[in-house]
Every structure is written in structure tokens, then in C-alpha cells.
Amino acid sequence: MISQQSLFIPDSSGGPEESGLKRFCSRNILIILGFTFIMAVIALITVGLTQNKPLPENLKYGIVLDAGSSHTSLYVYSWPAEKENDTGVVHQIDECKVKGPGISDYAEKTIEIDHSLEECMQRARSVIPQSQHEETPVYLGATAGMRLLRLKDERAADKVMLAVTTSLSKYPFDFQGAKIISGKEEGAFGWITINYLLGKFTQKLNWLNMHIKDKTYQTAYGALDLGGASTQITFVYNKPFEMPEENHVSFQLYGKTYILYTHSFLCYGKDQALLTKLSYDFQNSNGTIKDPCFHPGYERVMDIVEFYKSPCTEKYKLSKMDKLEILGTGNYEQCKQNIENQLFSNDTCGYTKCAFNGTYIPPVQGHFEAFSAYYYVMHFLNFTSQELPSENEVTRIMSNFCALSWNELKSRNTGLKEKYLSEYCFAGTYIFVLLNKFRFTDESWKNIHFVDQMEGTSIGWSLGYMLNLTNMIAPEQPLTPPLPHSTYVFLMIIFSLVLVTVVIAALFIFLKSSFIWKDMA
């Protein structure tokens, strides 16, 4: 039997010099192979980094003009062209408030519309690269102010929209038209904006098998919008058979169907609500009213012409006086009672669930984002820094605020326009009554969050409007890589280093064991 040791006895035909040469050659071949392997790994990482490096952004742009009842705002949005149907890629890059009132106030002076829009449109020209001007869509959506004008005088409304179209068509953008949007659209597009910016439409992918998991759908937030002439409420309600057709809207967004309740209450915006309340008081007065919704010591004289401008006050038989004098008394509880009695009638309702004036509304569900005038008023009253307190605490805070004398309030808030400052007592009271009429309870109104912006983007219907018209939200969920680029690069480097370490360790062990066997021989 041949012993194991005899297997390792070097060939007697070769001398020591030949054995040394073999060892030298073997060692160098292993070193060369190891070096080649390391270079190959480095090349692999380099190729991976180069191939998967994000491409320079090729941005696209869009412009939306929000023509509200009290003013017009222009928004400029941008997004990477190669990610046109992905989620969460649209950003607001500029905002411009058009000087002057809302476009509905130009009904008798349409020639001034072009001048009022010029400054903001020229600003958009400077913000958007000139090479992109012809490709940039421009949309104008007019809301409740124009809806009211159309109710009062359709020809005047058409004249205003024609003047707007003529003005916007002269700029070097891709003008897509001006439209008076419905209250239903305004509420639905506001809801899209909120949930798009919150990332609620995005689904998580299983990065092992790329399958979409149904359970990863996030709960959408509701939307509360308060303007000058109307207010909207929109939220997910998966019982379409319970809703009247005018309150029902559905969207297919990123592979999921959302069934919404939405309603727009015309004449229940902040400004029109105050005008309606004053009209109610005026019809039974001798030209002077003591109003608990204004601070003690406050005085205002209003021309009766202001009341005849709006269809919201047509039902009231106004006094024959030419002027209305308002004297503030500053009493929150009385103000609240007046608002409830004068603005929210108890008409019979044909549904089992109603808000006010016979309007169907189901029980509110989940969290809500409240924006526009909701935010501005509640921010001034310091209700936006935390969740809303209890109803008793709200009553205490609002009672103290409304009871402040007008002179003291002005001394605490220098620089604010007196018209806006004088109306915060009414506006705050009105908001709390309105939320109560929307069936928010002392517990559920703590789920309301007052917001103005998210990720640098102003909250409103305009972003949702543009997303819809440009088909930026795909009906089906877009396929995306299971890993972000940065994670992919990190894992490539880590695994490559692990592989190099293993190979070097194996070479070291192999060489060391070879020398041990040679020494034993």
C-alpha cells in the first residue's frame, strides 16, 4: 500500500531549482488571476453605476390660473418628462397673485382684464425656459364667482370668459382654454391635489417578486375647501347606492377605484355667507344693526348696491334705505346663534342623512385636510399649531376674541387691512358652525388638519385640475424598480466587496495550505 505521504514526494527527476521555478510560476499565476478578478469586479461596479445613473432631468412645465371669486392666482408646475406618469413628481415652482379682484368683477370693464393678467403671465415667461414655451400648456379655471355671475347674467359671464381667452391666447404658450368649472369638479380636483401630495395614491411593491399588495393601499384623506363664494366637502364613501347622482364621483387612479362623496355649497363661501347674513339683518332694520359678529366699538357703513350684486341675496327684501350701518357688539354665542338661524335653514330633507338646506351628506370618515379660507382664518386665530381643542375650549377662546374691543384688536395687529381684521370673529364662528353642520363631532373634528402648503406646493384644486387634463395620473399602477437607485448602488458595492473578500481569503488559505503540504513533504 502506498502511504499518503508518498503522494507528496516531489519528482526525483527534477532538482531544487525546477521545484522553485514551479512554485514561483504557480504563485504568480494565482496573483495574476486574483488581480484580474478584482479588476473585473471594479469594472462591474463601474458599469452598474454608469448604466443606472439617473439621466439629466428633461423638465416639462404647466400653468394653471385659479380664477376665484375674490382674486386670481397663477401657478407654475414642473415635472421630469421621463416620469410623466409616475407618482409624486410634480412640483410647484412659482406662484403669482394677479393684482385686482376676481375676474367676475370685470363684467362691466372687460377691457381691463388683459392688463390685470399681464404681470403674472410675463413672470411665467421668465420662469419657464424659452425653449419650452410652446410646449407648456396653460389652463384657466373659474370657480364660484363666475358661477354666480353666470346665474345672474349669462351674457356677461360669456363676455368675461371671451376677454380672458383673448388675453391668454396672445402669450407664447400652448393655451388650452378657459372654463367655468363646476362645484363638483372643484371639490374632486381639490381632493386629488391633497392625496397626490400626501402620496396616498402610491402603492408599495414587494421587491422580491414585484407583485402589488392590496393591503398596502393607504387611506385617502378628505378635503375641505372654503372660498369666498362657495365651500366644498369631498371624501371617500364606498356606498354609491346611498348617494344621489349629483354627489357621486369615482376615479380610477394608479390601479384603484375611489368612490367619493362631494358637494359644493354655492353662496356658503366666507364672503357670500357674511353678505347673506347682513342682508337678513338689513331687511328688518331701520338702516342700523347691532351685530354680535363684529367687535365692540367697530363701525362700518355699507352701500345697498353691494347687496344687489349677488344672486345669493336676491331672496331678501331689502330695506329702502340706501346705506346700512353696522355697530359691533362682540358676542360669540349670539353670533353663533344668528349664523345658525339666518344661514342654515331647517328645511325638510328627502334623505335620512342631511347637512342643511335639504342637502344629503353621509357621516364623515377619517382625516381631513382643510385649506384656502379655512387655513387663513384658523391660522390667524391660532388653531393651526395643534389639533382642535374641545368645543368648550373653542367657545372660551372665541368668546374672549370676539369680546376684544376694536381699538385693542387693531393695536395688536397693525399692518393688517381693517376689512379682513374686522371679519375674523364672524369667519371663525362661521367655520365652527359649518363644521358642525357637516356633521363633525367634538371628537371627529380633531381629525381636521388646516394646511396651506405641502412640499412647497399650494393646496387647492388647481394641481388636481392640471393632473387630470394632462393625464398625469395613470389609471393603472405604473411599474417601478423594486429598489431606489441609491439602494441598488449600495447593495452592488457591498456584495462586490464581500465577493472580493471571500476570493482573497480563499487564495490566502489555498496558498498557505500548499506551503504546509510542501513542508510536510
Residues marked as catalytic: 186
How many residues make up the chain in this entry? 521
Distances (CA, A) of 21 to 26, 112, 426: 9, 98, 100
CA-derived radius of gyration, the chain: 35
Residue 122, H or E segment: helix 113-127
Q: Which residue has the cell 363661501?
A: 269
Rounded Cα–Cα distance for residues 144 and 277 (Å): 18
CB 171 within 8 A of CB 136: no
The rounded distance, in Å, linking the Cα atoms of 238 and 351 is 18
Question: In 201-243, at which residue ranges do the beta strands (DSSP E only) sit?
Answer: 222-226, 230-236
Concatenated DSSP letters for 417-475? -HHHHHTHHHHHHHHHHHHHHTT--TTGGGGEEE-SEETTEE-SHHHHHHHHHTT-S-S
Label residues 43-62 b or e (16+ Cβ within 10 Å = b): eeeeebeeeeeeeeeeebbb
DSSP assignment of 340-396 equals HHHHS-----SSSSB-STT-B-PPP-S-EEEEEHHHHHHHHTT-SSS----HHHHHH
Chain-centre distance of CA 396, in angstroms? 32
Does an H or E element contain 73, and which? strand 72-80
Sign of CA dihedral 253, 257, 263, 269: negative
